[in-house]
Structure 1
Amino acid sequence: MSQTTLKVEGMTCNHCKMHVEKALRGVNGVEEAQVDLAKGEAVVSGNASREELVKAVIDAGYSAQ
């Protein structure tokens, strides 16, 4: 299992944070996803590829890198 950190932009509130976490947890291979609103970061544990994680965040309406 690996850990990936993404920079997430566009989140402004706790609802945004929860929406991004839900999107990331829906990716096949994700064991856990934690989003820090203040830092604008998501830390994801599991076997999902970085590309899949970035796509999930973008599909949720935010930007990620």
Structure 2
Amino acid sequence: MATETIKVEGMSCEHCKHAVESALTNLDGVSTADVNLDQGNVKVDFDDNKVAAPNMYEAIEEQGYDVK
């Protein structure tokens, strides 16, 4: 299991939080995703044998947010 904190720009509300968390937890291998709106990031716990960072970045960007 691995953990990564991803900086995400454009999140400002509970809808944003839900969209990003749902997009990530729908990926095979992601166990949890916890958005912190104040800090503008998401902490992701995942199985690095099943999913890689670029897959997570793409899932976030598909929701309309920018990964930094």
TM-score, with structure 2 as normaliser: 0.90
Q: Unpaired segments of 5 or more residues in structure 1?
A: none
- How many equivalent residue pairs? 65
Give the letter aligned to residue 31 of structure 1: S
Q: Unpaired segments of 5 or more residues in structure 2?
A: none
What is the percentage of aligned positions where both structures have the same residue? 38
Q: Does 1:6 align with 2:6?
A: yes
Q: Does 1:59 align with 2:51?
A: no
Distance 1:11 1:44 in 2: 16
Q: Structure 1 residue runs of 4+, over 4 Å off?
A: none
TM-score, with structure 1 as normaliser: 0.93
